[in-house]
Amino acid sequence: DHIDVKFGPLNKGKRTDADMQRFREYGLGQFIHWGVYAIAGGEWNGVKAPTASEWIRVWSGNTAPPNWQQTYDNLYKQFNPKNFDAKRWASQAKQMGARYMIITTKHHDGFCLWPSKYTGYTIAQTPYKKDIVKQLIDAYTAEGIDVYLYFSIIDWNNKDYRTSAPKTEEEKESYNRFLTFTRNQLFELMDNYPKMKGFWFDGTWDKAWINAYEWTYQLEKDLRNAHPGLIIGSRFRNDEHGKRHFDSNGDLLGDYEQGWERKLPAQYEWLNGNDWDCVMTIPPNGWGYIKDWSRFYTKTSYDLIDMLMHSVSMGGNFVLNFGPDGNGKMHTGEDKLAKELGDWMKLNGEAVYGATHAALAPSPYGYYTQKVNALYLTVFNRPVNNQIRLKIPRSATQVPEAASLLANKTSLKMKFVDIGIDLDKNVYFDITLPASFMSKDPFVIKIDTKTGKINALELE
């Protein structure tokens, strides 16, 4: 059933270069949505907008103030984030344990956080004036955190932007101007900020963009040639049959699967071994600043650790979103979660960084992650008898040797258990948790392993 595809992946198969290997080992990342929508904070004059706060410009319905779009389009004249300190954000991200950061250089409204010479709708036209992208790249890179640039293809500020396919000659000319504008901005970003590691594209689902597959194919080639090592996800472009993320033959378009927005795969098998990231909001589907969190369920650090370990156990990165306010300060709820997650990462980061999927049946107690000579089990469901039972296939090439609590190095008793309905296929090990060990957080059991074959006699 092979379909002829001319505009599929530039390269098939997983990248093995150092930049991609680094991406694969991040584990935890930070997303930042910042723009003029932060001034509104999901409401205006106390009236709350029903939708994602970064989409507030297209607020409609009977609660929206009259002329809201015009008001929004003038908000940039007030953008003057006096409390913005790139070093403080970078230091917080470092404390949290993030290894990469994605910043919205331009969201759907078209407002640019860098002084683009291709539009007048940028940070340079605000009272603040200074280049925010540059400050962030410098500050985060100095902390050892890689920076990726979020870039929306949707641009409500550009007259030549359109959603539907251009039909008349005039429409075609106009859309070609938009494509050139987009290309210019992308090269401008790579030129201005050579330390950037990749693009995180968004808003690529419009028919006009989908039809430009030949042009986007060439652009991807040119971007990669201009910036060796560049990392681009699967959301950038589609093949000539309009297939997005994966081409018509199921081959991944880009370096990693970029479809896991606010959701996680239930099964490892769904991922076909591809690299991927999960990007997640704290409030439900709110990416930009939201002043009032009280009207929503907001995720707890327990939820975040759960999703982080879920992601890493399936070979992906977990990226937590922050939406700072119009003055450049994180929401106090974000500060609290960053601290809690960071405290947990300081004790347990070894189970995250450089760790990946373990070829074991999912554990009823939590998530497995793995490195050479170590298996990690992050426990969320502690059994009432304090016996953690590992089920290891007899065919495994890593044999459990010793167990300990990762956070405090306490060694744990582990023994082979002569029980199981499938002893010919699997062997079982029980790890005993001391009854005196209490933890209000999920905790990690580190199981040292050695390369070899499981020999049942040796175990008994």
Q: What does the binding site for ligand H79 look like in residue numbers (CB under 6 A)?
A: 52, 54-55, 202, 205, 261, 279, 287
Which residues are registered as beta bridge partners of 280? Answer: 320
Q: How far is the CB of 437 from ligand H79 (least distance, A)?
A: 40
Q: How far is the CB of 35 from ligand H79 (least distance, A)?
A: 10
| Nearest to ligand H79 of 163, 386 (CB atom) | 163
Between the alpha carbon of residue 271 and those of residues 258, 267, 275, 277, 352, the distances in Å are 11, 8, 8, 11, 19
Residue 6, Cα to own-chain centre: how many angstroms? Answer: 29
| Nearest to ligand H79 of 287, 344 (CB atom) | 287
Residue nearest to ligand H79 as judged by C-beta position: 205
DSSP letter at 244 equals B
Which residues are registered as beta bridge partners of 406? Answer: none
Q: In which region does residue 41 sit, left (phi positive, over 0), alpha (psi from -120 to 50) or beta (all else)?
A: left
| Nearest to ligand H79 of 102, 388 (CB atom) | 102
| Nearest to ligand H79 of 24, 244 (CB atom) | 244
Report which of 230, 219, 221, 224 is spatially closest to residue 197, judged by C-alpha positions.
Answer: 230
| Nearest to ligand H79 of 261, 340 (CB atom) | 261
Which residues are registered as beta bridge partners of 447? Answer: 375, 403
Q: How far is the CB of 287 from ligand H79 (least distance, A)?
A: 4
Q: How far is the CB of 454 from ligand H79 (least distance, A)?
A: 44
| Nearest to ligand H79 of 205, 437 (CB atom) | 205
Q: How far is the CB of 156 from ligand H79 (least distance, A)?
A: 12
Q: How far is the CB of 457 from ligand H79 (least distance, A)?
A: 54
Contacts of 108 (CB under 8 A, 6+ apart): 54, 55, 57, 152, 154, 155, 156, 202, 203
Report which of 339, 348, 275, 346 is spatially closest to residue 306, judged by C-alpha positions.
Answer: 348
DSSP string, 198-209: EEEEE---SHHH
The amino acid at 108? H
- Quote the strand ranges of 240-330, DSSP E: 257-261, 276-280, 316-322
| Nearest to ligand H79 of 26, 151 (CB atom) | 151
Which helix H or strand E contains 370, and what residues bound it?
strand 366-371
| Nearest to ligand H79 of 255, 430 (CB atom) | 255
Q: How far is the CB of 28 from ligand H79 (least distance, A)?
A: 17
Q: Please state, in angstroms and rounded to a whole number, the distance separating the CA atoms of residues 105 and 321.
A: 15
Q: How far is the CB of 13 from ligand H79 (least distance, A)?
A: 26
